[in-house]
Amino acid sequence: MRGARWIAPPQGNPRRPLAEQILALRGVPETQWPRFLAPSLNQLASPGTMTDLDKGAARIADAIERRETIAIWGDYDVDGVTSSAVMARAISLMGGKARVHIPDRFADGYGLNVSGIEQLAKEGARLIVSVDCGITAFEPARRAREFGIDLIVTDHHLPEAALPEAVAVVNPNRHDCPFVGKELAGVGIAFYTMLAVRAQGRERGWFANREEPDLRCLLPWVATGTIADVAKLTGLNRVLVHAGLRWHRSQPDAGMRALEEVAGLKGELTPGRVGFQIGPRLNAGGRIAQGILGLNLLLSEDPAERRLLAKQLDQLNQERRAVEDEILREALPQAEIQVERGMRALVVAGPWHPGVIGIVASRLTDRFYRPSLVFALDEEQGKAKGSARSIKGLHLLDALRRLDDGRFIAMGGHAMAAGMTLAAGDLGRFHDDLDRVLGELEDELFMPRLAPDLALAPGQIDEAGRSDLLRLEPFGHGNPEPLLAIEIRRLIDPRFRDPRMMMATVELSDGRQLPAVAFNLDPHPDLIGGLDRPHWVAARLSSFRDRVQLQIQDWWFGG
């Protein structure tokens, strides 16, 4: 993070395992270390403590017994698609019938809507289960009730004070829900719902004369949706992601393997590969075309169809990247002017593709360390559809709710990301008001800081140290891969393959030389041609040709 203020890290203890030092520094009680370092499914919390889950599971079990077709209402992002796949496959394994409705991002927008409810009613639906959406769907829920349709909401987004009218509202973030897994993504809640339905079936004698379905086969999808939704990889999510990736290694999911093949991935699937390779391809259908494409891939049992869908999603992902780059080029001048003016929120707008603006918002936030809101303008309707990303310590949804004076046509989200729609002509006033709200916050919040976990002596930088740190996997949001401060004597022969990638050799203070790589860091003038004076790098330890390699995240030229 160029321009970040370094926070001096504690000095590593060479006589203590690195993983234990990291856990202690991150505030994990020592009594929890064995569970953290060896996550297993027997650590999952009981579904019985999740409010309304028993009522929702009983209604789904009734539908399976009555041979009712269960309508699953999903979402077009990876969490929504994997949630839909988990529920549809589990219902099928338990002998039920399900049909999935994935709304069109452009024609329908996010979440449950009245027109879709009316269409399902015409088709004879008697039960709708929402996944990864529905917590604020008050009018669609009312309309479903008028049609005599039972609605079950399963969602993880933050609720308002009131809840929609439904047979069950399953959301661990309900104010009256004692369930411990507040961090679950939508797909995690869908998985828990299906565990509860299976328990209902067990009580009703479904499996007296047939084998009980092993729902662990769904865990690779649970892991994928959780990682792609940038949910915290702590608590129950850590258990589910660890188990899902482990299951995929031994019994690979066919749809995900098809995506790995088109992405050219070899070796084990890691959270990083899911987040940067699998997730974007699975997401590309919903961003550029139709979210149902990703669902069809996961549920397909035809190898030829899977290959075709994977190639189609890969092509859509390439198109998405091109559109994203073009929007970013057009957005940067707007953002740079606002940074120069000292504005705390970046609000940029243009006639852009609404399916990609969230990614552009993330890139602006990464570049300028400001909460960034990117709006796609619809001139015909006079509306601006926006996607926002925040910075550490700034609860974006709380800030937006302070401005909810009726100006929002739609708005929702959580601490780090949000979506909203408002009148295009109101963008200027909205930006001023948001900046006023953010102006009440401490200046320190808007100053990027880099805080390595530990400062390592050269003797700790070896394969044994790297292997010990791998005990902390899976890495991701809430459990980042450890960042280490390392003193470098010399940087030798830096080679810039492109502006985003530098390869070099570093000489440690003990004289050892190691390979190093840096991504997405501007070529610093001091680095061109090498650097023959001491400095520090913030780096992660990886492996390159059976040697420890430094993945440099930042540098400090303090001497």
493 vs 65, more confident: 65
397 contacts 448 by C-beta, under 8 angstroms: no
Strand, coil or helix: 479: strand
Say if residue 364 is in the same domain as residue 465.
no
- Cα-Cα-Cα-Cα torsion 8, 13, 19, 20, nearest 10 degrees, comes to -110
* Angstrom distance (rounded) from CA 284 to CA 21: 40
Question: How large is the average pLDDT for residues 495-521?
Answer: 84
* Angstrom distance (rounded) from CA 533 to CA 199: 65
Say if residue 482 is in the same domain as residue 534.
yes
What is the identity of the amino acid at 172?
A: P
Say if residue 346 is in the same domain as residue 210.
no
* Angstrom distance (rounded) from CA 358 to CA 374: 7
CATH number assigned to the domain comprising residue 468: 2.40.50.460
Question: How large is the average pLDDT for residues 280-307?
Answer: 92
Say if residue 131 is in the same domain as residue 228.
yes
474 contacts 496 by C-beta, under 8 angstroms: no
519 vs 86, more confident: 86
pLDDT above 80: residue 1: no
Question: How large is the average pLDDT for residues 160-178?
Answer: 96
pLDDT above 90: residue 539: yes
CATH number assigned to the domain comprising residue 129: 3.90.1640.30
pLDDT above 80: residue 559: no
Single out the residue in 388, 419, 446 at which a domain terminates.
446
Q: Dump pLDDT digits (tens) for 397-417.
A: 999 999 999 999 988 878 888
Say if residue 432 is in the same domain as residue 458.
no
Say if residue 74 is in the same domain as residue 218.
yes
Q: What pLDDT does residue 529 have? A: 58
Say if residue 221 is in the same domain as residue 86.
yes
How far apart, in Å, are the Cα atoms of 545 and each of 272, 277, 462, 464, 496?
20, 22, 14, 16, 20
Q: Domain residues for 507?
A: 453-556
Residue 3: pLDDT band (50, 70, 90) is low
Least confident of 132-136, 243-247, 411-415, 477-481: 411-415
Residue 31 belongs to a domain: no
Q: What pLDDT does residue 217 have? A: 97
149 vs 415, more confident: 149
Mean pLDDT, the chain, integer:
92
User: Domain total for the chain?
Assistant: 3
Residue 74 belongs to a domain: yes
Distance, first Cα to last Cα, the chain: 19
Question: How large is the average pLDDT for residues 520-526?
Answer: 61
| Residue 121, CA atoms < 13 Å, CB-side half-sphere | 17
Q: What pLDDT does residue 251 have? A: 95
Strand, coil or helix: 345: coil
Say if residue 398 is in the same domain as residue 509.
no
Residue 272 belongs to a domain: no
Residue 388: pLDDT band (50, 70, 90) is very high
Q: What pLDDT does residue 458 have? A: 87
Say if residue 463 is in the same domain as residue 437.
no
Q: Dump pLDDT digits (tens) for 459-504.
A: 889 999 999 999 999 999 999 999 999 988 888 888 877 666 888 8
